[in-house]
């Protein structure tokens, strides 16, 4: 799917990466960590999660390092009015109307909705009195008109705030944006094995084992509780430099200095804010005219000549009236309002802070929300109970 137009914040493309917080829950075999540093400068991190083999996780590494995922607010879309959902089935019992949305309504009791094409042509700002399930909710309506239909519509009365309501996911420390499907696959691949408890009894009079019934129905339930089978530690001994192992028992890589001491990974946190600047090489894309290659929160190019509704390569340019290479970003405007007012990134997700004379960008590498050790593991204890309170 190609990049969505700028003026369609509810385009289905975003659903590949952004998920409603109501649809997310951290599995029990993941540890949850709170951000340590002020991280709103680049991306606003809410939580960091890692699979824990001691909790039974079957997979805890990715690309030779510990799998560490940052959960972030969706900062890439401005608050906007959700478009109407149409051609919906509805029924009315007296003054209570039930409307059904097969795509999940994500509404809550007390929310306000504007209704159309029900027993009356329109009904603005009606309060939801009951959420039946993920697909249906109820409101109070006037006592006249039809009692059912298949062409109903509703629209939330309030604007939708993606920053407050949606999550996106980034691999750390690279900050690579990963899809919601990939996150779910990580959850599946790391899910602990569960072994049923003993399902037979030994008959001492006949010296035989007698199998217990299995399964359940409306009248009986022979299912037994299951227990998680923890991962086997391949080397339950003291480990030099805190060495850890992957799922196959192979040691994760450690690099050493000349004196034999391990090299800690170089990650940037708040105290190194001014030490991580870089100068990108120019990027040319003939036959398109030379342009500044900058990207949005999701990694889509901003000066893309094929991206609607602007189809322009000059939304972001170098300000020739300011000296290169810092603080010289110029944004195209209409009536004093920038076409694209958001933060700018390079193709690797680093924050753009200036433009060189050759149109290549100057960047600052992103700041980690917490410190990671040489194995890409958070260097602080998890706080799972706080994670639960925050909805993680």
Domain enclosing residue 349, as ranges: 277-364
Question: In which element (H, E) is residue 389 found?
Answer: helix 384-389
Residues 21 and 168 in one domain: yes
Q: How many helices (H) and strands (E) does the chain have?
A: 3, 25
Q: Let me know: does 313 contact 291? Beta carbons within 8 Å.
A: yes
Give the per-residue pLDDT at 195: 62
Residue range 359-391, pLDDT digits in tens? 999 998 888 888 888 889 898 889 864 444 455
Q: Does 287 or 279 have the greater pLDDT score?
A: 279
pLDDT greater than 90 at residue 181: yes
What CATH number corresponds to the domain at position 148?
2.40.30.20
Residues 68 and 166 in one domain: yes
Q: Let me know: does 293 contact 355? Beta carbons within 8 Å.
A: no
Give the per-residue pLDDT at 387: 46
Tell me if the pTM is above 0.75: yes
Q: How confident is the model at residue 110 (pLDDT cuts 50, 70, 90)?
A: very high
Q: Let me know: does 244 contact 66? Beta carbons within 8 Å.
A: yes
Residues 168 and 255 in one domain: yes
Residues 138 and 282 in one domain: no
Residues 238 and 319 in one domain: no
Residue 199 lies in a domain: no
Residue range 330-367, pLDDT digits in tens? 999 999 999 999 999 999 899 999 999 999 999 988 88
Residues 179 and 243 in one domain: yes
Residues 381 and 360 in one domain: no
Give the per-residue pLDDT at 391: 52
Q: Which residue, among 384, 348, 387, 386, has the nearest Cα to 365 in the 3D structure?
A: 348
Residue range 299-342, pLDDT digits in tens? 999 999 999 999 999 999 999 999 989 999 999 999 999 999 99
Picking from 136, 158, 180, the residue at the C-terminal end of a domain is: 158
Q: Given the DSSP bridges, would you call strands 337-338 and 333-334 parallel, antiparallel or unpaired?
A: antiparallel
DSSP letters of 141-194?
--S-S-SEEEEEEEEESSPB-HHHHEEEEEETTTTEEE-HHHHHHHHHHTPPPE
């Amino acid at each position: 799917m190609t990049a969505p137009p700028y003026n369609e914040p509810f385009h289905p493309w975003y659903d590949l990466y952004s998920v409603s917080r109501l649809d997310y829950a951290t599995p029990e075999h993941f540890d949850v960590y709170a951000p340590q540093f002020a991280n709103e400068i680049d991306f606003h991190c809410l939580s960091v999660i890692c699979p824990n083999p001691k909790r039974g996780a079957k997979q805890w590494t990715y690309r030779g390092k510990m799998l560490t995922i940052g959960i972030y607010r969706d900062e890439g879309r401005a608050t906007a009015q959700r478009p109407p959902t149409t051609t919906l089935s509805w029924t009315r019992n007296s003054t209570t109307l039930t409307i059904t949305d097969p795509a999940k309504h994500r509404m809550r009791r007390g929310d306000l909705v504007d209704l159309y094409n029900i027993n009356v042509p329109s009904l603005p700002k009606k309060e939801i009195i009951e959420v039946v399930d993920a697909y249906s909710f109820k409101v109070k309506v006037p006592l006249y008109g039809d009692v059912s239909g298949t062409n109903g519509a509703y629209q939330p009365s309030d604007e939708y705030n993606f920053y407050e309501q949606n999550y996106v996911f980034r691999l750390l420390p690279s900050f690579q944006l990963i899809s919601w499907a990939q996150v779910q696959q990580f959850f599946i691949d790391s899910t602990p094995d569960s072994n049923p408890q003993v399902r037979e009894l030994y008959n001492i009079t006949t010296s035989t084992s007698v199998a217990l019934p299995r399964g359940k129905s409306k009248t009986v339930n022979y299912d037994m509780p299951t227990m998680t089978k923890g991962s086997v530690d391949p080397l339950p001994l003291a480990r030099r430099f805190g060495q850890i192992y992957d799922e196959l028992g192979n040691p994760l890589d450690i690099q050493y200095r000349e004196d034999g001491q391990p090299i800690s990974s170089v990650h940037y946190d708040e105290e190194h804010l001014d030490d991580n600047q870089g100068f990108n090489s120019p990027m040319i894309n003939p036959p398109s005219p030379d342009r500044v290659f900058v990207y949005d929160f999701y990694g889509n190019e901003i000066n893309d000549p094929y991206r609607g509704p602007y189809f322009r390569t000059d939304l972001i340019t170098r300000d020739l009236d300011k000296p290169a290479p810092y603080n010289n970003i110029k944004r195209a405007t209409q009536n004093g309002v920038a076409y694209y007012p958001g933060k700018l990134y390079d193709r690797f997700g680093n924050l753009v802070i200036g433009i060189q004379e050759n149109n290549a960008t100057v960047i600052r590498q992103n700041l980690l929300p917490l410190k990671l050790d040489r194995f890409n593991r958070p260097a602080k204890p998890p706080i799972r109970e706080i994670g639960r309170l925050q909805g993680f």
